Amino acid sequence: MNKAKIAAMARDLESAYNKGNIPVNLELIAEELGILVRHGKINNDVSGVIFKEGTETVIGINEGEPPERQRFTLSHEIGHFVLHRERDLCVTSQRLFRKPASGDFREMEANAFAAELLMPKQAIENAVLKLSADEVVSKVSELAKTFGVSEQAMTYRLANLQLFPMS
């Protein structure tokens, strides 16, 4: 699936249920999709899982990770649900976040979806409108807090949208 299509699917989901609220209400989106979300203890190097339990779809989030990471994981797993419905199980290890190019294109697709859902292009552009590149750099921490993501995730996002000078 190409990146534009993935981004469009994330935007459609955001506008259908979240309707422009920032930070994006992922719990509401999951609920609207009929997904049960559970936060709990998971094996150390696993960030999240999505699986079927009877007729229910369940997303499990590793509660031992920082809250912003848990949000990214939930967004990523929602991506699997929307993009890869044919799959009934996916385990997302921390390694895949650190090294997303490690072979499984579904993981890269879910990450691209997650970034668009958590940090909608239009909302990011509005937030940095009229700022110089240096001003954007100095606002990364504030932007990350506003959107409920890590500074690293925000930095990548800004770079992807070509709003951030990568050194």
Distances (CA, A) of 40 to 21, 49, 113: 26, 11, 24
To the nearest whole angstrom, how small is the minimum distance from the Cβ of residue 62 to Zn ion?
Answer: 13
Span of 21-29, 59-67, 82-90, 155-163 interacting with Zn ion by CB under 5 A: 82-90
CB atoms within 10 A of CB 167: 4
Least Å from the CB of residue 134 to Zn ion: 35
110 sits near Zn ion (criterion: CB under 5 A): yes
The Cα 133–Cα 111 span in angstroms is 25
The mark string for 126-155 relative to Zn ion (x by CB under 5 A, - otherwise) is ------------------------------
Minimum distance, C-beta of residue 153 to Zn ion, in the bound complex (Å) = 15
φ, ψ for residue 166, nearest 5 deg: -80, 125
Asked if 92 interacts with Zn ion (CB under 5 A), we say: yes
Provide the minimum distance between the beta carbon of 18 and Zn ion in the complex, in angstroms, as a whole number.
21
Q: How many residues bind Zn ion, per CB under 5 A?
A: 4
Task: For Zn ion, give the closer residue by CB, 9 or 143.
Answer: 9
Closest-CA residue to 90 (of 58, 62, 65): 58
- Identify whether the C-beta of residue 70 lies closer than 8 Å to the C-beta of residue 1: no
Longest alpha-carbon distance in the chain: 52
Helix (H) or strand (E) holding 29: helix 26-32
* Piece in contact with Zn ion (CB under 5 A), picked from 27-35, 66-74, 109-117, 153-161: 109-117
- Binding residues (CB under 5 A) for Zn ion: these are 90, 92, 107, 110
